[in-house]
Structure 1
């Protein structure tokens, strides 16, 4: 009788462990998805033991969700990958994609100046500032140093003195540039950042959680007349955006974003001396040091630990999220910094079998 009880308990434990591992290495229990999944991490060419170590590290920092797509299929899905949360500055790479479509159609040009586009602010722009081009704004080097919405204290503290640099001369991570780009995009006839993201990207890609109700323009008129364009997006929908770029802008036989624009916008446009890993493209971060530069990695990065890291040489997309909407976050500001995120990414990459 005792042996029968032990045998039954052994079977029960084995079933429970199997269920745990299924949930552990796949999407959150109870959530449906149209993503395809690898049958196992081993079948995908990864070591389960090594990924266990990555999971331990993930649990030790303040990550709230992670998704890894390898060869077009889900390899890892940890945390709630279905929840729409603040994408923060990842939004800028979404806008880059939309601009690429419009530039390719001839409705905008990288050489367009603020003067030609009739852009101004309060206080008014100077004659020199009005010569900043669209390419300068997209590479965060306009030379316009005015207050802007959604600026952090660090950005305000680091802002150069007005008139200290000519347009295109100096890189400074500048929300004025980024927010004005939204104004410029919306000035193109019949264009709107959010509606176009929905119609041109979210719907063709089959994003499962995106909703226009989770977008908004944030006006901070005491700082600038140009609003921020804010997105709430889930990890699994961000992964689709990353996969689109990994596929050079093509999805189900349709060229969504021009391939030439993806190549140009994710190439280095400005060196960033203050960053030891990345330089800057057109609203994308481009890895400039090994091992990430060896993989041709480029990234959409947002405050507090948001990222879409695209690694063409390994056919892999890595999405990392920190839910800054949570009450616990509001109380503790428990972030994941770039070094922690890259360490987690490296642990996943190290799990690849030769």
Structure 2
């Protein structure tokens, strides 16, 4: 009898059971251990049968100690059972299912997605809304409403996918049609950007793709000037490429803006000193812009004389290629995990 008046040492029983359990490596050994302690004639059955022999005041405490020990050893039994069965499976099949599994490959955001999100974030901070339009367009929205009537020579700038013999339905060649749709619906003043896919009959090579993405911007209101256009675009480009980038505006031509400008930034590769990327000029063309042509306002149903606005457009792939120094546009469409993992 131990010091507590019990005819058994429960702590010694637990210790012995633990030691025996740790040495077990096979299922039959584990079953023998279970029967020894939990069987009908096992250790705990014997201990329980001796409780009535104890004095009345010791019985509750003895029962609690036995139950606590049973619960502890049963939990250890279940843990050991998992280990032994896993080891047994490994021995039977040659596979060890307890080893940590291989980490599967998972996707990453395409640079086009990353740049698109940056653009949306910058312009939303300036109060611009985000709009979309249909990828299948009519000749009216894609050309005529943008000051390019039928047989206008400016249409040759866009190699168009027509969808019908009458050449009235087409895959949009730019996101500019969204300008017209927005001007027809929104109340002046407003400012929006539109991001989406565009389509042209281009070869699929290092610098061209028949499917690409554009961002279009439009701001319409009262007394908007070219200075507003410059301020917005300089802010946008410095947010996108860094505060040290220089921005240059040169005269250009677009049928839907007048005056029009070609906007370039100082080369981010050579910092404007001249390299192969910028053709040793120190500048990289990045987007086109200008003041909305009065004819475009008329086609959209806006006839007020004091309404002005500016518009701009840029290729998202081109921005991504410059920002991430990518030399082949095809990389964006190959879904090569080795390429995409660079943009975590």
TM-score by length of 1: 0.27
Q: Which has the larger radius of gyration?
A: 2
Structure (1 or 2) with the greater helix fraction:
2
User: What TM-score do the two structures reach when normalised by structure 2?
Assistant: 0.27
| More RCO (CA 8 Å, sep 6+) | 1
Name whichever structure is richer in strand by fraction: 2
